[in-house]
């Protein structure tokens, strides 16, 4: 992964959305400073039995332009809802990672989710709170690195050393993450106009609502080696407040963005949840 020339291995083109496959409607939502590219391998695996739609969030690489200096979870969900309406998807299955999991819970609260697979979801804190401040400071520490990275030559930006550092942040098994996936993650971070607005607005984000009364079938996937929002503190509220019917699964040996290193496992865990819901519906 860390060897080879510094020239990026694949064209770094922004993607408004990945849209592929046929069958059950499945919405895939990426994390903060990421893009639909992180879902490419999972989307390929799901396309045989699902119509997969993985959009870029507002203010993220490939997504709708950010209007102004305030953006919150509700605004992100509003734009995704507009896209679902355009596609004629009144409801769909949803899988979201990190920020995408948080938006997934908001869409479920609005009645748009048939099922929700929340993968290392963000938002498991009260507002305001020390936990909320800590995660904001963690991302704020990346701002200087991102600003410097925008002015570096590709030979440094996409070097083996940079890819290794990104892999260590996002994954457990760094060698399992593809070079193209890591390059896309780097490019996504460097082209994220929402970064500063979301950090500035973050302390005003309201806490997740109605976790205990959520009627949507939820599968909670916690990543064992999550370095971004470690389970021991950031998963507590999800574990305590989600309904007893929630599937709670610890995914071993993966980091915060497990789609990069274990796409087969993540696709299987999403597919199981989708098909379990179909079985429940037939039983009724």
Domain parsing of the chain, residue ranges: 17-283
Between CA 256 and CA 228 the distance in angstroms is 6
226 as an active site residue: the answer is yes
The pLDDT tens digits for 133-156 are: 888 899 999 999 999 999 999 999
Higher local confidence (pLDDT), 102 or 6: 102
* End-to-end C-alpha distance for the chain, whole angstroms: 49
98 as an active site residue: the answer is yes
Has residue 3 got a pLDDT over 70?
Answer: no
Task: Return the HEC string of 152-216.
Answer: CCHHHHCCHHHHHHHHHHHCCCHHHCCHHHHHHHHHHHHCCCCHHHHHHHHHHCCCCCCCCCCCC
Look up residue 220 and give its two tokens: 């909670």
The values of phi and psi at residue 12, to 5°, are: -95, 80
Look up residue 30 and give its two tokens: 């990426």
Among candidate residues 98, 188, 191, 273, the one labeled active-site is 98
Q: Are the beta carbons of 24 and 272 closer than 8 angstroms?
A: no
Between CA 114 and CA 128 the distance in angstroms is 30
pLDDT of residue 1: 43
The pLDDT tens digits for 142-197 are: 999 999 999 999 999 999 999 999 999 999 999 999 999 999 999 999 999 999 99
State which fold the 17-283 domain adopts.
Answer: Rossmann fold (3.40.50)
On average, the pLDDT of the chain sits at: 92
Has residue 9 got a pLDDT over 70?
Answer: no
The pLDDT tens digits for 116-132 are: 999 999 998 887 788 88
Q: Are the beta carbons of 69 and 200 closer than 8 angstroms?
A: yes
74 as an active site residue: the answer is no
Q: Are the beta carbons of 185 and 34 closer than 8 angstroms?
A: yes
Q: Which of 111, 126, 105, 65 is nearest to 211 (CA)?
A: 105
For residue 90, count other CB atoms closer than 10 A to its CB: 11
For residue 132, count other CB atoms closer than 10 A to its CB: 18
Sheet with 113-119, side-by-side order of all strands: 17-20, 50-55, 24-29, 92-97, 113-119, 218-223, 247-251
Has residue 217 got a pLDDT over 90?
Answer: yes
Among candidate residues 37, 60, 191, 256, the one labeled active-site is 256
Among candidate residues 37, 191, 226, 273, the one labeled active-site is 226
Q: Provide the whole-model pTM.
A: 0.94
Higher local confidence (pLDDT), 202 or 97: 97
């Amino acid at each position: 992964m860390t060897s080879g020339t510094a020239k990026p291995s694949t064209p770094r083109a922004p993607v408004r959305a990945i849209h592929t496959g046929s069958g059950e409607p499945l919405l895939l939502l990426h994390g903060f400073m990421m893009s639909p590219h992180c879902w490419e391998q999972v989307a390929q695996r799901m396309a045989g039995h699902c119509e997969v739609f993985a959009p870029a969030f507002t203010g993220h690489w490939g997504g709708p332009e950010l209007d102004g200096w305030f953006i919150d979870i509700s605004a992100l969900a509003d734009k995704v809802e507009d896209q679902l309406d355009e596609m004629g998807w009144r409801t769909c299955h949803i899988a979201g990672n990190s920020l995408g999991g948080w938006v997934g819970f908001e869409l479920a609260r609005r009645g748009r989710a048939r099922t929700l697979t929340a993968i290392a979801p963000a938002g498991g804190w009260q507002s305001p709170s020390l936990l909320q401040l800590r995660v904001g400071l963690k991302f704020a520490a990346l701002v200087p690195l991102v600003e410097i990275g925008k002015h570096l030559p590709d030979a440094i930006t996409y070097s083996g050393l940079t890819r290794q550092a990104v892999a260590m942040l996002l994954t457990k098994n760094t060698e399992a993450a593809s070079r193209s996936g890591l390059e896309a993650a780097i490019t996504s971070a460097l082209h994220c106009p929402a970064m500063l607005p979301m950090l500035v607005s973050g302390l005003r984000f309201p806490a997740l609502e109605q976790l205990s009364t959520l009627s949507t079938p939820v599968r909670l996937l916690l990543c064992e080696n999550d370095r971004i929002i470690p389970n021991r503190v950031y998963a507590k509220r999800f574990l305590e407040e989600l309904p007893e019917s929630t599937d709670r699964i610890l995914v071993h040996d993966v980091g915060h963005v497990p789609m990069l290193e274990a796409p087969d496992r993540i696709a299987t865990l999403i597919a199981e949840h989708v098909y379990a819901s179909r079985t429940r519906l037939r039983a009724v």
